[in-house]
């Protein structure tokens, strides 16, 4: 899977942290696995570039939304595994509520305009 971001294909600005939080809700993953999961779960529409993924994960670490521990990947490489914190779960809930509110408002306009 090529790791590139294609904003023209529909990754809304600011959506990456929400997607990472949602993917980590199922359990801890290393960075490349997070990018792969987003790509696969989006039916291969969304691709996450390393240059965007790792700075976003670092910001999430600083905010306390995730923790990271070193481990070994399936390919025997030393990697950081990211895990959702209770603050991250609360943030995910808030992000999803905001996303639902915005998409509902957009749908209302599209149906009635």
- Which one, of 1, 19, 13, lies nearest residue 96 by Cα? 19
SS3 78: strand
Q: What is the mean pLDDT of the chain?
A: 90
The reply to whether 1 falls in a domain is no
Q: Which of 8-17, 57-66, 73-82, 104-113 has the lowest mean pLDDT?
A: 8-17
The reply to whether 31 falls in a domain is yes
Query: Is the pLDDT confidence value at 8 over 70?
Result: no
Angle, to 10 degrees, between the axis of helix 15-24 and the axis of helix 86-112? 130
- The pLDDT of 41-47, averaged and rounded, is 92
Percent of the chain topping pLDDT 70: 91
CA count, 13 A, side-chain hemisphere, 23: 24
- The pLDDT of 65-79, averaged and rounded, is 95
What is the DSSP annotation of 12-53? Answer: -TTHHHHHHHHHHTT--EEHHHHHHHHHHHTTT-----HHHH
SS3 56: helix
The reply to whether 83 falls in a domain is yes
Query: Is the pLDDT confidence value at 9 over 60?
Result: no
The reply to whether 67 falls in a domain is yes
The Cα 83–Cα 22 span in angstroms is 11
The reply to whether 2 falls in a domain is no
The whole domain housing 21 covers 7-112
Query: Is the pLDDT confidence value at 11 over 80?
Result: no
Query: Is the pLDDT confidence value at 20 over 50?
Result: yes
The reply to whether 86 falls in a domain is yes
- In whole angstroms, how far apart are CA 97 and each of 41, 93, 94? 20, 6, 5
The reply to whether 19 falls in a domain is yes
Is beta strand 29-30 parallel, antiparallel or unpaired with respect to 78-84?
A: antiparallel
Give the count of domains, the chain: 1
Query: Is the pLDDT confidence value at 12 over 90?
Result: no
- The pLDDT of 19-26, averaged and rounded, is 97
CATH number of domain containing 38: 1.10.10.10
The reply to whether 68 falls in a domain is yes
């Amino acid at each position: 899977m090529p790791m590139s971001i294609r904003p023209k294909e529909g990754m809304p600005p600011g959506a990456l942290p929400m997607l990472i939080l949602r993917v980590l809700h199922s359990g801890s993953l290393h960075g490349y696995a997070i990018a792969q999961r987003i790509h696969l779960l989006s039916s291969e529409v969304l691709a996450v570039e390393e240059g965007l993924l790792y700075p976003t994960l670092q910001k999430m670490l600083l905010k306390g939304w995730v923790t990271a521990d070193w481990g070994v990947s399936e390919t025997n490489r030393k990697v950081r595994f990211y895990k959702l914190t209770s603050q991250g779960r609360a943030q995910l809930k808030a992000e999803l509520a905001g996303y639902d509110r915005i998409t509902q408002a957009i749908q209302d306009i599209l149906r009635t305009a």
